[in-house]
Amino acid sequence: MNAAVDGPAVTIRFALPEERLRPFITTYYRTEVRCSPGEPWLEDRLHPEWPNLRFLPAGSTEGSIGSALLEPMPAFAVTGPTSRACRFRVASGGSWGIGLMPLGWAAFMGGEAGDYADRVVDGLSDPAFARFHSLARALATGAGGFADGLKSIETHMAGLADAAATGTLRNAAAITAVNAALVDPETATVADLAQRVDMNVRSLERLCRRAFGFTPKLLLRRQRFLRSLAQFMLDPSLKWLSTLDHRYHDQAHFVRDFKRFMGMAPTTYAKLDKPLLVAAARARMEIAGEAVQGLHEPKPAD
């Protein structure tokens, strides 16, 4: 999205990982923001999603999850899986991001997803993310352009995937099966989900907390909401009634979910400026075929 020469401008570029990394990674993305003298920050709200690693210029971004106050984001910001909107604002500059699938978290991270759910942590101070420190340092130099940064990320992630393949990735098939069932609109209840993946509910709950961050019930509710939100992000001129997932009983049902996940009514959200998120939804859709990260189809690991 480009604005007038003297106004703010946003450029977001997505890239898919190589084929063998797609079970672990949704996309890589580069965000370039240029603010205007009269508007030194651009603010937006990010919907719930899977984990993300973001490499940010120092002092360029402030953020918060849910109703918390905005705080400076660390240079290497690790966001666990979220079930609430992340409010953020950015100054002029460029940043890199890596979106992880649930299997990517299980393969590359040292902690359970549930311990990082609805949290942003400093990846440089948490030992669970030590294997990304060299990448964070490389990207912090800012040397080169899009192609150089992307090459650094791809090389690093391929190395991590090779290391994961040499060991035993716990429950990889089960994580992928649960992920596939979650993104299927026909999976309506926890009982449906447990039956589809051939697990008892207790085992399913443990797996979901470890790899997905939340209970199966909340995950299904979140997916239903994201399917509806994605339609609006692609075409904000739509009325909410025309975007509702078929699992919603009525508009009041959807409004309750919207307030739970975004912290406001859908009519309030529709009136807000979305300088980054609408552009991101369209760019992601063009490259990856989905407007939001949480709807990516999982790929089986080899």
Name the average pLDDT for the chain: 92
Give CA 288 to chain center in angstroms: 13
Task: Tell me the fold of 9-169.
Answer: Jelly Rolls (2.60.120)
Which strands sit side by side in the sheet containing 25-34, from one edge to the other? Answer: 9-15, 25-34, 93-100, 52-55, 76-79, 120-122
Tokens of 157: 């992630």
Instruction: Name which CATH class applies to 172-271.
Output: mainly alpha
Domain with CATH 1.10.10 in the chain: 172-271
Q: Would you give the DSSP letter of residue 20?
A: G
CA–CA gap between residue 113 and residue 121 (Å, rounded): 13
Mean pLDDT of 11-26: 96
pLDDT at residue 245, rounded to an integer: 87
What digits encode the pLDDT tens for the residues 192-225? 999 999 999 999 999 999 999 999 999 999 999 9
pLDDT at residue 203, rounded to an integer: 97
CA–CA gap between residue 61 and residue 54 (Å, rounded): 11
What digits encode the pLDDT tens for the residues 230-279? 989 988 887 887 889 888 988 999 999 999 999 999 999 999 999 999 99
Predicted confidence band of residue 31 (pLDDT cuts 50, 70, 90) = very high
> Of 277, 266, 262, 226, whose CA–CA distance to 67 is shortest?
262
Q: What is the pTM of this model?
A: 0.94
